[in-house]
């Protein structure tokens, strides 16, 4: 008896084997974490493996024979993808291009495609792309970059802190100790010559140290997330009047007039303590950087979305190059006032921090020799 399979039986077995192998391949492609894409030399996709649904939300038939680059690639990445495709067609291979592809839900998915030109391969006759979802990797990279930037900012803050404590806080205390010693010696000798002047210096230096310490502590608390943002309904006009009153003496000493060009009342929803600090710093700077007999004008403009508060002076102004350095901890820009008042460059940083907590902005317009106008916004109610 001949047990050998017939030709027909062999054909059938072969067919079965082929079917199983095709099915296996199909399942492999479907369950792969990557996507296989076949394109013609014009960049038109004619096969996309089923795994695309897991990655992009689209079914394979929704991704073929459409202008993918124009329709589904992020506008900023379209040129890069076109060039990479041309590179594969010309040079047979492309080592990996990263780009954003639209997800069916409207979002973007970060992909990395490695390509090989198999157009001359009679079994494939296409460009093959092996495409991988790298969104998680990209998000981790972005988080790393952000945390690096945050770290270097914190480092700059720390350096600034030490330098303020070492230099700026030391100098008013040096004056206080020095003049106190003089006072004690002279008073013991009942020599009253100059004591009033010494007392005034002690007074001024104590105030300077106190102001600096207040800013320093507020800045430290803001940086360590210890300042709570507690907005409430407040009356801005009352607050401006209260803060301006604190400067009556120092303004008078320099014969500077503080004009308040304000409506009758301005209700705002803001953190009172923070707005107080912002106004205090801006008015103090106005006085500090304005010559005797100068003017400071506090003004507000309200529109539908926001309230803009301006503190303008006709003082010494700020050079263009210096303006770019304001509000940045890395530069900690600070100059002495018209009466040689010293500073730390912390005040404006604090203002910016607090205004941003309100969702507002701060900026300055200034002309050297003419004066400066600092403006900040608060959300309107
Ligand atoms: P400080 O006044 O303690 O130096 P600030 O952060 O408040 O710190 O200000 C930083 C610097 O910005 C000042 O030293 C000064 O050079 C400049 N500046 C701020 N306000 C004014 C102003 N109204 N006019 C001119 N320069 C100003």
Q: Domain coordinates of the chain in residue numbers? A: 7-134, 228-380
The response to whether residue 311 sits with its C-beta less than 6 Å from ligand 1 reads no
Burial label for 225, CB within 10 Å (0-12, 13-18, 19+), is exposed
Which residues, other chains included, contact 55 with Cβ-Cβ below 8 Å and sequence gap of 6+? 35, 109, 111, 131, 133
Ligand 1 centroid–CA 6 distance in Å is: 98
> With a 6 A CB cut-off, is 268 part of the ligand 1 pocket?
no
| Minimal-distance CA residue to ligand 1 atom 14 | 334
Contact 206, 176 (CB under 8 A): yes
377 bridge partner residues: 308
If one residue of 287, 319, 343, 350 were mutated to test the ligand 1 pocket, choosing by the most ligand atoms within 8 A of its CB, it would be 343
For residue 216, what pLDDT is reported? 80
> Which residue among 164, 284, 285, 322 is best mutated to probe the pocket of ligand 1, counting the most ligand atoms within 8 A of its Cβ?
285
Q: How far apart are CA 246 and CA 320, in angstroms?
A: 31
Residue 84: in which H helix or E strand, if any?
A: helix 78-91
**By alpha-carbon position, which residue is closest to atom 17 of ligand 1?**
334
194: helix, strand or coil: coil
Q: State in Å: Cα 288 to ligand 1 middle.
A: 8
Q: Is the CB of 347 under 6 A from ligand 1?
A: yes
Cα separation, 293 vs 314, whole angstroms: 10
Architecture of domain 228-380: 2-Layer Sandwich (3.30)
Q: Are 141 and 98 in contact (CB under 8 A)?
A: no
What is the rounded distance in angstroms from the CA atom of residue 126 to the CA atom of residue 7? 35
Topology of domain 7-134, per CATH?
Answer: Beta-Lactamase (3.30.450)
pLDDT of residue 85: 94
- Mutation choice for ligand 1 from 167, 322, 348, 374, CB with most ligand atoms inside 8 A: 348
Spacing, Cα 281 to ligand 1 middle (Å)? 9
Q: For residues 89 and 120, give the distance between their C-alpha atoms in angstroms, rounded to a whole number.
A: 11
Q: What pLDDT score does 2 carry? A: 61
CB-CB contact of 291 with 338 (8 Å): yes
Using alpha carbons, list the distances in angstroms from residue 343 to 73, 144, 216, 307, 371: 52, 35, 12, 29, 19
pTM tops 0.75: no
Reading the chain (381 residues) residue by residue, the pLDDT tens digits are 567 778 888 888 888 888 887 888 778 777 888 999 999 999 999 999 999 999 999 999 999 999 899 999 999 999 999 999 999 998 887 778 999 999 999 999 999 999 999 999 998 899 999 999 999 999 999 999 999 998 888 887 777 777 777 767 777 888 899 999 999 999 999 999 999 999 999 998 898 888 888 878 887 777 777 778 889 999 999 999 999 998 988 899 999 999 999 999 999 999 998 999 999 999 999 999 999 999 999 999 998 889 999 999 999 999 999 999 999 877 778 899 998 887 778 889 889 989 999 999 999 999 999 999 999 999 887
Backbone phi and psi for residue 164, each to the nearest 5 degrees, phi listed first: -65, -45
pLDDT at 279: 96
């Amino acid at each position: 008896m001949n047990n050998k399979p017939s030709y027909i039986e062999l054909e059938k077995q072969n067919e079965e084997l082929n079917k199983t192998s095709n099915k296996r391949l199909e399942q492999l492609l479907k369950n792969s974490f990557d996507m296989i894409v076949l394109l013609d030399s014009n960049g038109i996709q004619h096969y996309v493996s089923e795994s695309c649904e897991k990655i992009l939300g689209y079914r394979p038939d929704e991704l073929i024979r459409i202008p993918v680059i124009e329709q589904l690639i992020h506008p900023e990445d379209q040129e890069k993808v076109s060039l990479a495709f041309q590179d594969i067609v010309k040079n047979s291979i492309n080592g990996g291009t990263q780009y954003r592809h639209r997800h069916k839900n409207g979002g973007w998915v970060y992909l990395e495609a490695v390509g090989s030109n198999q157009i001359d391969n009679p079994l494939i006759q296409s460009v093959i792309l092996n495409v991988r979802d790298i969104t998680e990797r990209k998000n981790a990279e972005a988080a790393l970059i952000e945390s690096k930037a945050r770290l270097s900012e914190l480092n700059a803050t720390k350096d600034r802190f030490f330098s303020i404590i070492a230099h700026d806080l030391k100098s008013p205390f040096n004056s206080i100790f020095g003049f106190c010693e003089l006072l004690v010696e002279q008073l013991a000798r009942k020599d009253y010559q100059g004591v009033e002047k010494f007392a005034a210096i002690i007074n001024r230096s104590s105030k300077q140290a106190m102001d600096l310490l207040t800013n320093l502590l507020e800045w430290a608390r803001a940086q360590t997330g210890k300042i709570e943002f507690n907005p409430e309904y407040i009356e801005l006009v009352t607050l401006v009047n209260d803060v301006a009153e604190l400067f009556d003496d120092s303004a008078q000493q320099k014969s500077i007039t503080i004009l308040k060009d304000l409506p009758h009342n301005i209700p705002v929803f803001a953190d009172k303590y923070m707005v107080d600090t912002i106004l205090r710093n801006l008015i103090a700077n106005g006085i500090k950087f304005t010559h005797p007999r100068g003017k400071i004008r506090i003004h507000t403009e309200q529109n539908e979305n926001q309230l803009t508060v301006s503190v303008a002076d006709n003082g010494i102004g700020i050079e263009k190059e210096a303006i770019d350095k304001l509000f940045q901890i890395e530069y900690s820009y600070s100059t002495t006032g018209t009466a040689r008042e010293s500073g730390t460059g912390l005040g404006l940083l604090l203002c910016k921090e607090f205004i941003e907590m309100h969702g507002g902005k701060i900026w300055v317009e200034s002309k050297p020799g003419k004066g400066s106008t600092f403006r900040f916004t608060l959300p309107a109610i």
